[in-house]
């Protein structure tokens, strides 16, 4: 990553900086620079659209019917409100990068705006979100495997391990070798199947409802105020790709097309999410579960295709979530920590900790709601707005843009407070 000139550094770093904080910022900068594209301006607009769709489309599509069920039909408006706000803050990230050509990654934006504190805050949010999303992958895999094989269980040293718990452990063992890989480009090609997987799931769900006897007969409720915070949080989780946007922008051959790329990606993904929400709610009504795959009749071919596709996608993406945390952890260790055995140990330890958390918090909907409310809204709505105000100097003058920015920030804060509170209450209630 390019270094900033002295006068630019003086704008980003406070005059008095704690030495430990500065050292932390430097270590994080070294780690995160490894995940920006080394070639600047080599990716076509078409490929960038594909990468953007892959970043925005994910496991959130499985929980979107549950979100609509929680808030009622009127809550669907909130999906488009959050989509619009996320699209706007995506453009703000582009503007921040246009204002300073040295910005290459999302943490760079935090540092340019608020110094090392900004970089540390953005980095902590990113790694926490990656860790919890990877935990959610294991929960999702365990739930769906148990749905396919309800009587599966294992006995180890006289201890009986239930079907769901054994499913999580088996999936973790399958995933573990991908965490040991050094070549991230291999994983990048594998994870590109995410867009195709989302399309297959959407088509399979439609087929199940239209031709496999389930039908679209449920009416649902117009509004459920009690479930609005949950709906908001899950909608927010669907648009948590902002940390990837700086990398996409940097890699583009024609950067002027970035706004058009954002338009295409957000329109297609919002259409997919809304379609899945409506179909799932019409199919199963208020009984729809946190993962719609758990409602599907497993004896039907289309249902099994949906579940198998759902099982494959997280396995291909898990390592991309956890390896950045592995490298961040290695940066804190002595020189021996850079050696291969230590890397394998750290990766294995993180997977084991993921399994423990997944078994302790087996509530996919509630965990994703918490991630969406607290982490996704902060990283995708609040921080881009605040960083842009600081970098551009917009906060110093009152005008229409300032009103829009503060409206977006207040929306994000409201979702963070309401959604986080509701999600934590639901998790506690399960215990």
- Is the predicted pLDDT of residue 84 greater than 60, yes or no? yes
- Is the predicted pLDDT of residue 364 greater than 80, yes or no? yes
- Is the predicted pLDDT of residue 240 greater than 50, yes or no? yes
Q: What 3-state DSSP class applies to 223?
A: coil
Confidence band for 19, pLDDT divided at 50, 70 and 90: very low
Q: What 3-state DSSP class applies to 318?
A: helix
Q: Is 115:13 a contact under the CB 8 Å cutoff?
A: yes
What's the pLDDT at 29? Answer: 56
Confidence band for 192, pLDDT divided at 50, 70 and 90: low
Query: Residue 155 belongs to what H/E stretch?
Result: strand 154-156
Confidence band for 20, pLDDT divided at 50, 70 and 90: very low
Residues with Cβ within 8 Å of residue 153, at least 6 apart in sequence: 160, 161, 162, 163, 166
What's the pLDDT at 143? Answer: 86
Residues with Cβ within 8 Å of residue 116, at least 6 apart in sequence: 13, 17, 21, 22, 24, 25
**Helix crossing, 228-237 with 60-71: angle to 10°?**
160
Class in CATH terms, 39-430: mainly alpha
**Which range, of 163-167, 170-174, 191-195, 281-285, averages the lowest pLDDT?**
191-195
- Is the predicted pLDDT of residue 363 greater than 90, yes or no? no
One DSSP character per residue, 51-99 reads: HHHHHH-STHHHHHHHHHHHH-GGGHHHHHHHHHHHHHHHHHHHHHHHH
Position with higher pLDDT, 36 vs 357:
357
Residues in the chain: 431
- Is the predicted pLDDT of residue 430 greater than 90, yes or no? no
Q: How confident is the model over 280-292, as a mean pLDDT? A: 93
- Is the predicted pLDDT of residue 27 greater than 80, yes or no? no
Q: What is the pLDDT of residues 29-69, one digit of tens each?
A: 544 544 444 445 677 888 888 878 877 887 789 999 999 99
Q: What is the pLDDT of residues 124-152, one digit of tens each?
A: 998 898 898 889 889 888 888 887 777 76
- φ, ψ of residue 34 in degrees (nearest 5): -70, -10
Neighbours of 244 (CB within 10 A): 17
**For the chain, percent helix, then strand, then coil, each to nearest 5?**
80, 0, 20
Confidence band for 389, pLDDT divided at 50, 70 and 90: very high
Confidence band for 188, pLDDT divided at 50, 70 and 90: low
- Is the predicted pLDDT of residue 4 greater than 50, yes or no? no
- Is the predicted pLDDT of residue 184 greater than 80, yes or no? no
Q: How confident is the model over 62-82, as a mean pLDDT? A: 95
Mean pLDDT score across all residues of the chain: 82
Q: What is the pLDDT of residues 405-421, one digit of tens each?
A: 999 999 999 999 999 99
Specify the pTM: 0.82
Neighbours of 425 (CB within 10 A): 12
One DSSP character per residue, 156-207 reads: ETTEEE-HHHHHHHHHHHHHHHHHT---HHHHHHHHTHHHHHHHHHHHHHHH
Confidence band for 311, pLDDT divided at 50, 70 and 90: confident
Q: For the chain, give every domain's residue range.
A: 39-430
Q: Is 423:369 a contact under the CB 8 Å cutoff?
A: yes
Q: What is the pLDDT of residues 322-352, one digit of tens each?
A: 877 887 777 776 655 567 777 788 889 999 9
Q: Which of 232, 264, 259, 246 is nearest to 383 (CA)?
A: 246
**Helix crossing, 60-71 with 193-211: angle to 10°?**
50
C-alpha distances (whole Å) from 377 to each of 25, 38, 113, 121, 172 are 23, 29, 19, 14, 29
Confidence band for 209, pLDDT divided at 50, 70 and 90: very high
What's the pLDDT at 394? Answer: 84
């Amino acid at each position: 990553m390019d270094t900033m000139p002295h006068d630019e550094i003086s704008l980003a770093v406070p005059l008095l900086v704690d030495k430990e904080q500065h050292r932390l910022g430097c270590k994080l900068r070294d780690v995160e620079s490894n995940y920006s594209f080394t070639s600047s301006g080599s990716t076509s607009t078409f490929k960038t659209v594909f990468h953007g769709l892959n970043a925005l489309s994910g496991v959130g599509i499985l929980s979107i019917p549950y979100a609509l069920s929680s808030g009622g039909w009127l809550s669907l408006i909130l999906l488009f409100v959050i989509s619009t706000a996320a699209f706007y803050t995506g453009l703000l990230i582009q503007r921040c990068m246009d204002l300073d050509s040295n910005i290459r990654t999302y943490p760079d934006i935090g540092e340019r705006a608020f110094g090392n504190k900004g970089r540390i805050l953005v980095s902590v949010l990113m790694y926490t979100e990656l860790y919890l999303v990877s935990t959610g992958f294991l929960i999702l895999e365990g739930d769906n495997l148990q749905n396919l094989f309800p009587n599966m269980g294992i006995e180890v040293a006289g201890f009986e391990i239930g079907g769901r718990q054994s499913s999580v452990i088996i999936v973790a063992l399958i995933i573990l070798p991908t965490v040991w890989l050094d070549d991230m480009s291999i994983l990048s090609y594998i994870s590109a199947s995410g867009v195709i997987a989302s399309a297959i799931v959407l088509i399979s769900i439609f087929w199940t409802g239209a031709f496999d006897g389930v039908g679209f007969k449920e009416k649902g409720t117009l509004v459920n105020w009690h479930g609005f915070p949950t709906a908001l949080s899950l909608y927010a989780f669907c648009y948590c790709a902002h940390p990837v946007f700086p990398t996409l922008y940097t890699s583009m051959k024609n950067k002027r097309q970035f706004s058009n790329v954002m338009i295409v990606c957000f329109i297609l993904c919002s259409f997919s999410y809304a379609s899945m929400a409506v179909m799932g709610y019409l199919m199963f009504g208020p009984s729809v579960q946190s993962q719609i795959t758990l409602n599907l009749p497993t004896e039907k071919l289309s249902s099994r295709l949906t579940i198998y596709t759902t099982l494959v996608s997280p396995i291909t993406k898990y390592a991309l979530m956890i390896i950045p945390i592995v490298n961040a952890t290695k940066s804190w260790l002595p020189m021996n920590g850079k050696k291969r055995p230590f890397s394998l140990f750290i990766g294995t330890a993180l997977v084991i900790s993921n399994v423990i958390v997944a078994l302790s918090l087996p509530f996919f909907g509630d965990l994703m709601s918490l991630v969406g409310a607290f982490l996704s809204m902060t990283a995708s709505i609040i921080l881009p707005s605040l960083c842009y105000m600081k970098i551009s100097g917009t906060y110093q003058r009152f005008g229409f843009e300032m009103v829009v920015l503060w409206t977006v920030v207040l929306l994000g804060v409201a979702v963070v407070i309401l959604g986080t509170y509701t999600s934590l209450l639901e998790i506690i209630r399960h215990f």
